[in-house]
Each structure stands twice: as C-alpha cells, then as structure tokens.
Chain A
C-alpha cells in the first residue's frame, strides 16, 4: 500500500542544513494502521506532508498503491491526494463558509465518490445528524473534528494521514473520537498513518513506529516509550 525507500529531507537553517529525514525506509500494508511517534521537531509532520505530496523530498521514493510520487507534477499530485489520500489535522481545517453537510461531502464530491448510504451511516455513527445545516463556527471542537473525520473517510481513501487528530480535544473527547476514528477507518477499508504524542492514542493502532534521528524504528511495546 505505502512503500518508502531511502527518503531524505533537509531544511536550510541559519546554523546550516538540518537533515530531518535521513535515508528513511518504511512499509505499510493495506487496511493496516500505524502510529508514528517521535519527539517534537523529529520530522513526523514532514514525513506526513511528503507522503501526501505536499512537500518534495531531497531524494528517495514514495509509492502509494504502486504509484511513485517522484516526478509527478502538481496536478497529478493533487489528483492523487483527492482520490488516494485523506488528511486529518489537529486544527480540523474545515471550510468555514460551507455548512457541515457540504464540508463532509467536499472531498468525495471532488473525486466523484459520493456514497449516500455510507454517508448516512458515517454521519449517524459520528452523531452529526442534527448538525448538518450548521456552520463550523457553530460547532464545538469535538464536533468539528468529527466533521473532519467524516470528510476524510466518505470517499473511502486507501490511505488516511492524520496529524495528531485529537491534539486539540480534552482527554475524554479524544478517546471517544479516536475510538470512532479507528473503527470507521477499518469500516472504510482504509489504511491509517497517524502522528501522535499519546501512548493512549497509539494503542488504537495495529503497530507503532518511532522517528528518531531521521529514521524509523518499530516499537514493540508503546507503554515503554
């Protein structure tokens, strides 16, 4: 599903070049879920952006469903994102001028994969039925994140990339949302790569990896991290 080989990304800084990712290798199977852990500034968000085609690596290859992102032009990357990948952010990033129903349908409409039955189920499971006509600023943070989750899953993307999706929520809400999220990702048949700082959240995933010194290593027991 996702295959990364010898991925390198550096950033120019005042003190010189900082290599955030260094010859990184990673693989992920279809329908699996992986928690990506690491210290602040270790390069977790950078890795997610590179996988989503939002950033360009210095070297290395990223393949999603066998398609190498290297060399794809801007439009092709945008097409890949709208059909194969979904992003969920800590800050939800809903479109403030569209109502909840439109926000949920947005990406599915872009790639022409609107599934009314699945939408009803998704909305029902996330408890958003009574919120559909409202606008994002009229919702609580937890509700906004649920809308972002619904948007990311409605078109059943092969890969969901989440960057601390519950980082903006309180503990109780985080657990509820995460439980729902992982369940719905499985129902949608998607793979999930999630950046998190939280061991509790990582526990929802099939496996966990740690990003340190620009490389990934498997974590057998999250509790020990």
Chain B
C-alpha cells in the first residue's frame, strides 16, 4: 500500500514537469506523432493496397476463380455465353472491361456485367446493399438510359456530382452518375452491360467469369470450349501482390526513414526532459525513492506517451494516407492495372503495430539517457565535468557502432538480391554515417581551431561554445543529415529515372500516331490508294500474353524493318554493338530480344536459350539482346512479326504505329489527313493517340508514380527541420542562465547571436557537405542495385549539384528561421533569467 502510495507521488512529481514545460511536451508529441504518422500512413496504404489486391476481382466476384478468354484477345461472342448458360453453366457471367478518355484526356476504366446473370452469392452482394438504394434506382441502373456507378474518390477527382454525366473525349456522355464506392471497385466505373455495349458499339464480352464450380463441372466446361478460347485460373491478386511488392517495400523503407527522423526529435525531447528533471530525480533519490520505483514511474510515463503518440500519429497517418492514396492509386492503375478503393479502413493490427513501434522508439530514445541519469551518484560531481566525459564517451561509442554497421553493410553488399536486403544495407550505411557525424563535427571544430589566430579570444569563445552546443545539437544534426542524404539520394534517383525515361520515350515512341482500337480495318487503312501521300512508314505489331517463370509475359511480334525496330534501345547485346545484335535478331532465325526484367529478375543471360510455349509446343530462342523497358512490370520478348504469326495462331493486334510524311504541296497537314483516314477505317475518338499526347500521358504517369516518394521526402525534411527547432529551443532553455550571464558581462544581442549561430552553421555545413557524397552513394545504390533487383530497370545515374545547392539554401533558410524563433524566445525570457542571475545555481 505504502509502495503504491509512494509510486503515485513519484509519478506525479515526474509528470508535473510536462505541465511546467509545454514546449517540451509539444515537441515530444510532434516528434512522436510525425514519426508514427509518416510511418503509419505508408503502413495503412500498403495494407490497404494488399487488401485491394486480394479483392482484385471482387467487384464482379471473388468467386471468379476462372476466366474464359479468347486466345486471340478478340473478346467472347454473346452467342458463346448464351450457349454456355443453356448448357447449364450458371456459374458463368459476362464481364466487359473497357477504357474511355475523359474530356481532359484522362483514361477511365469501365467494368460492366449483367447483374441478373451473377451467381446468387454475388447478386446478393450487389443487388442488396451496394447497388442503388431504392427499387427505382435499381431499375434505372439496368434499364436505358442506365446509370453509371462512380466511386467517390474518382468522382471527386473528376468533379462529378451525383446525377451528373461524365463528358467523354468524343463528345458523348456516360449515363447519369450514382456516386458509391465498394471495396474492390477501385477507380473503375460500374455499368450495366447494355450501357457499355451502347457506348462501345461492340457487342462482345471482354471475358466470361466463372464463379464457384465443382472440379467435374470445370472439366466439362473446359471440354465445352472451342480451340479459340481458353479457361485460365484467376491469378490476378497473386500477380499484383508479386508485381507490386518492390514498390511497397520502397514505400515502407521511406516511411521507416521518416520514423527514424521523427525519433530523433523524440530522442532529444526525452533527453531534455530527463535533463530538466535531474534535480527532481536526485531529490527523490535523496528522499529515499529507490531506482526500481523511479524506473517504474518512468516506464509508466513511457507507456502514457506511447498511447498518446500512437493515437495522434494514427490520426495524422490516416489523414496523410488519404492525401497520398489518390496519386498512388492512379499510379498502380497505370502501371499494374491494379484498383485500390478510395475508402481507407484502419485495421486493429495496424493500430497494434503503430503502438509497438512507438513504444520501441520511446524505449530506444529513453534507454541511454535514463541509464545515465539513474547511475549518477546521489551527490554528483561537477555536472560540467560529467557532461564533457559523457560526450566524449558517447562519441566513441557511436563511432564504434558506426564501424560495426559498416562492417555488416560490407558483408551484406554482395548478397543483395531483393529490395528488403537492399534497404537494410542502405539503413546500415545511413545510420553509420549519422553515428560518425559527432566525431566529424568534433574534428571540424578542432580543425577550425588550428586556423584561429592564437590571440582571438572571440574565436576561442565561439569554438568553445560549439563544443557546448554539440551534445544538444548532435541528434538534430544527425536527423538533418539523414533527411538531406535521403532528399539528395532519392531526388537523384527520380531525376535520373526521369531523364532515362524521357530519353527512352523519345526513341521508343518515335511514330507520329499510335492506333490501338480493335474495330479498325488496319489493312484497309494501310492499303488505301493515296496513303503514300501522307504515310512515310508504319509498324503493325502483334502479340500474345503468356506466362514465363511464373510471371505474366508479353510476346510481341515486330516488323524488324520498322523505324522503331531499327533503333531499338538495347541495354546489353551480343556482339560488338547493339546494331550488330539487332541485325542478328532481324536475320538469324531463332533470335529473340528480351526486356531487362528477364535478365535482372529471372536471371536470363545473353546468348542463353529461352524456352517459350508456342502452339506447336515448346520452342527455344536465343537471347541476342536485352532492351530497356521502363515502367513495365511484366516480362516481355520481341520476335520478328512472321515468327509470332507462325507460332501463335491467336496472336492479336497490339496496335499500329504510323510515321507521317512532312507537309507537302499535295498534303499540307499530314496529321489532319491521317486522322481523317483513320476515322474512315472505322475508328472512334480514343482509338488513336498522337505522339505528343502519349508522351505527355507517359510522363504524367511517371510523375504521379513518384509523387508519393517526393511527398514523403519533403515531409521527412520538414520533420528534420522541426527536430532542429526543438533542439535549438531546448538549448535556449538549458543555457538561459549562461546567456543571461553574457548579457550581464555586456555582450550585445548581435554578438550573442553570432556565438549561437556560428557553431550551428558550422555543424549544418558539415552535415550538408557530408550529405552530398552520402546522397550520391545512396542514389548509386538505389539506381544500380535496388532499382535493378526490385524492378529490373537499369539506367545511368545523373548527378547534378543544383539540387544540392538548393537543398543547402533551404536548410540555411530553416536554420535562420529557427534561429529567429529562438532569438524571439530569448528576448522574451531573458529579463526573467537576468533577474534570477544572482539566485541561480
């Protein structure tokens, strides 16, 4: 009882500190909630994405275990579907997936089915709670003029209100909108199949989905299908999980870095809160409170902070996730055709994980300062002497730790074969650099001291003040170093990737027009009498989708003489030059070009034979070159057109590229003329796209993909800025009596500011200088190791100093801002400190 009572008073005495020092409370909360918020936002997004992948096909049936598809990708005729239903296959229901362009040119996915044909379990899902609410809405959905069911997030992006109609690029409108979201719907608009047929003028289904079915019936269904159709297992969610794994690992790594930077604020706040309470702790010990009771009280405090920090962090995390999700969702849709729903749900395991990581962070931040505090003698020796020794010891321990991290990183380097290992390596290197920083800062002060004139007392004072600021600033400068390194490293990665991507687009998308519609008579277009007036060249490509090494794979047939085939950008080739390899591919039967992904992710080597499943059985092709294939998550092979047409009879058109002649007397506007001819061939708006538009769209997708990375990068830098501000304010509080003394000795504000600012600028400059090579190393590893093992894309690194200068300027601005805030605080609080000068110990 007595123990419980004393525990209450000890806890009360310790916690009362936070009422008296609201700034520290605020910074502790900011550090915790920023770290946990950034980390949990990505966790929530990742979790949300994984749930969405597992529900990838739930919009039209999680039970769609199989799909019936046309081998030639020509869709399924209505009669086939009717025949199957008549034969008793009630588990089969039709699905149409198509894409339209909005008035602004943004692609929008539409999915449609015949709701009455859905298996009972699905019909209950869609017919009852998720379809339009009232019976009249329900009927309106399935009867002309129909309704389109638009997910909330998409409606928000398109600025589409309920009852409004989305205007398409060709001037037509979608049926009136009902704004409703459903897990698994993602960014797809759901419509009745009749509405889609009216829209596309193409009464064929994309595929037939098969619900729960017995093995015997499945075999019967397979035998029922003609040769031109195939029954394939629905592996969409498995593929998505596999394809997107690296992307999510990248995001997790970024969020862990943000958490670490946030933790530096916590570390500082905890350190200072213990420092301020050293008298309280010593007094409690003098009054007979034992270390176990003190430890228990501090443990209780830690638990309290962890709960509050987790709650605030999760609130922030949800907001951030909601802010970041639309961009990521759009990217995932563009890259992987994955749909994420716009509704974020917080799972209990995310809450528990967030709490555990908060607790871990707090315990990690608290352990060393608390140990130091509690092991201090009840009657301590000179605190300055202890602080100097402690700082020197801390520097040694950190440097030793850094050396160990570097050794582990060196051991790990040759073993990087996946994104997780790669990020562990990066983490080790970053923390090794951060832990070496105090030694480098100390070294820089010693170095400056060598160049100071012997008689310069002011210089010695300035440097000595640097030494005294170092313990307090150390962690903040470490956080700043991490944030700056990440900023430069990731910035260089994005910049390099963007440069490589745009350069690659210019070569790969050299045609003036790309046609992708399926209801166009391409031969008629190419063979029209006067096509030679405006058409310089063309490239008709065909392809089949397959699986190779358990991953979706595209096999394409290309015209080896087409302009874009002649300048195929190869990353690696057999022979002396890429031109030799391309010549080999054109002329030597059995030669194949493979994308880099097959090399880096599946281990395919130059000159090696790749075995592909053709209609005639397995055939070997010799790899003569690997081509760049940015943004493609799938494996891809290029064979000559005739080879694909011969070996895969259901190869289907993958589009036509047209190169136009320059304007001439006969045709003054070839583009206009070409588009007129394309229309005459049966094409509708959206079936073709101009070069400038497709490039713009590709770059837009690229930028959107990296928007979340840039956002995380920026937020991490802001958190580091807050860490710096928190440290400076803590220094101000800690050293206020000293500053008061300076004033009493006649030191002016400008001199005082100079003494405070100079060491800070020295430290920040050293951190910035260190961040430059570290950032370059980080981007080198990201580009040449992680990007390759994660995505299979290689690219040259483009290092530029301009971003480093910009970052330097930004950090200086942050430092000046924090100094200004500190000076304002100083002016406000100095009179009180001066008045207490005679009474302070």
Asked if A89 is at the interface (CB within 8 A of a chain B CB), the reply is yes
In angstroms, Cα B384 to Cα A152, docked, is 22
Which of B461, B746, B749, B838 is the one whose CB lies under 8 Å from A90?
A: B838
Do A97 and B468 have beta carbons less than 8 Å apart? yes
Do B457 and A105 have beta carbons less than 8 Å apart? yes
Do B749 and A74 have beta carbons less than 8 Å apart? yes
Known pairs A102-B457, A106-B461; A78 contacts B746 (CB<8 A): yes
How many pairs, one residue from A and one from B, have CB atoms within 8 Å of each other in the complex?
Answer: 92
User: Which of A48, A80, A107, A110 has the most chain B CB atoms inside 10 A of its CB?
Assistant: A110
Which of B458, B464, B838, B841 is the one whose CB lies under 8 Å from A109?
A: B458
In angstroms, Cα B461 to Cα A90, docked, is 23
Asked if A138 is at the interface (CB within 8 A of a chain B CB), the reply is yes
User: Which of A48, A95, A107 has the most chain B CB atoms inside 10 A of its CB?
Assistant: A95
Min CB gap A176→B, angstroms: 22
Do B743 and A102 have beta carbons less than 8 Å apart? no
In this complex, the interface size class of chain A, counting residues with CB under 8 Å from chain B, is 35 or more
Inside 8 A of A106's CB, which chain B residues have their CB? 457, 461, 745
Which of B737, B747, B841 is the one whose CB lies under 8 Å from A78?
A: B747
Asked if B839 is at the interface (CB within 8 A of a chain A CB), the reply is yes
Asked if A5 is at the interface (CB within 8 A of a chain B CB), the reply is no
Asked if B834 is at the interface (CB within 8 A of a chain A CB), the reply is yes
Min CB gap B20→A, angstroms: 18
Inside 8 A of B378's CB, which chain A residues have their CB? none
Do B744 and A135 have beta carbons less than 8 Å apart? no
Asked if A72 is at the interface (CB within 8 A of a chain B CB), the reply is no
Do B746 and A111 have beta carbons less than 8 Å apart? yes
Inside 8 A of B834's CB, which chain A residues have their CB? 49, 54-55
B386 to chain A: closest residue by CB: A137
Do B465 and A75 have beta carbons less than 8 Å apart? no
Known pairs A81-B746, A111-B746; A97 contacts B467 (CB<8 A): yes
Do B746 and A107 have beta carbons less than 8 Å apart? yes
Do B744 and A95 have beta carbons less than 8 Å apart? no
Which of A74, A80, A91 is the one whose CB lies under 8 Å from B840?
A: A91
Min CB gap B174→A, angstroms: 70
Do B745 and A107 have beta carbons less than 8 Å apart? yes
Do B837 and A93 have beta carbons less than 8 Å apart? yes
Query: Which B721-746 residues sit within 8 Å CB-CB of chain A?
Result: 737-738, 741, 743-746
Min CB gap A139→B, angstroms: 9
Asked if A163 is at the interface (CB within 8 A of a chain B CB), the reply is yes
Do A55 and B746 have beta carbons less than 8 Å apart? no
Do B835 and A54 have beta carbons less than 8 Å apart? yes
Interface string of B452-480 (1 = CB under 8 A from A): 00000110110011011000000000000
Inside 8 A of A89's CB, which chain B residues have their CB? 837-838
In angstroms, Cα B841 to Cα A90, docked, is 9
Inside 8 A of A164's CB, which chain B residues have their CB? 838
Asked if B382 is at the interface (CB within 8 A of a chain A CB), the reply is yes
Inside 8 A of B747's CB, which chain A residues have their CB? 78, 82, 110
In angstroms, Cα B835 to Cα A98, docked, is 24
B831 to chain A: closest residue by CB: A55
Number of interface residues of B (CB under 8 A): 32
Main SS of the interface on chain A? helix
Do A98 and B461 have beta carbons less than 8 Å apart? yes
Which of B383, B458, B464, B748 is the one whose CB lies under 8 Å from A97?
A: B464
Asked if A177 is at the interface (CB within 8 A of a chain B CB), the reply is no
In angstroms, Cα B741 to Cα A52, docked, is 12
A105 to chain B: closest residue by CB: B457
Min CB gap A116→B, angstroms: 11
Which of B385, B748, B837 is the one whose CB lies under 8 Å from A79?
A: B748
Do B461 and A49 have beta carbons less than 8 Å apart? no
User: Which of B743, B835, B838 has the most chain A CB atoms inside 10 A of its CB?
Assistant: B838
Which of A82, A87, A96 is the one whose CB lies under 8 Å from B384?
A: A96
Asked if A83 is at the interface (CB within 8 A of a chain B CB), the reply is yes
Min CB gap B495→A, angstroms: 43
A97 to chain B: closest residue by CB: B464
Inside 8 A of A79's CB, which chain B residues have their CB? 746, 748
Min CB gap A10→B, angstroms: 14
Min CB gap B422→A, angstroms: 43
Do B841 and A91 have beta carbons less than 8 Å apart? yes
Inside 8 A of B461's CB, which chain A residues have their CB? 95, 98, 102, 106
Inside 8 A of B388's CB, which chain A residues have their CB? 137
Min CB gap A147→B, angstroms: 13
In angstroms, Cα B465 to Cα A163, docked, is 26
Query: Which A44-69 residues sit within 8 Å CB-CB of chain B?
Result: 45-46, 48-49, 52, 54-55
In angstroms, Cα B837 to Cα A46, docked, is 11
Do A95 and B738 have beta carbons less than 8 Å apart? yes
Give me the interface of B with A, judged by CB distance under 8 Å: 382-385, 388, 457-458, 460-461, 464-465, 467-468, 737-738, 741, 743-750, 831, 834-835, 837-841
Give me the interface of A with B, judged by CB distance under 8 Å: 45-46, 48-49, 52, 54-55, 74-75, 78-83, 85, 87, 89-91, 93, 95-98, 102, 105-107, 109-111, 135-138, 163-164
The list of the 8 closest CB pairs from A to B, nearest first, reads: A82-B746, A97-B464, A81-B746, A137-B384, A137-B382, A109-B457, A137-B385, A163-B838
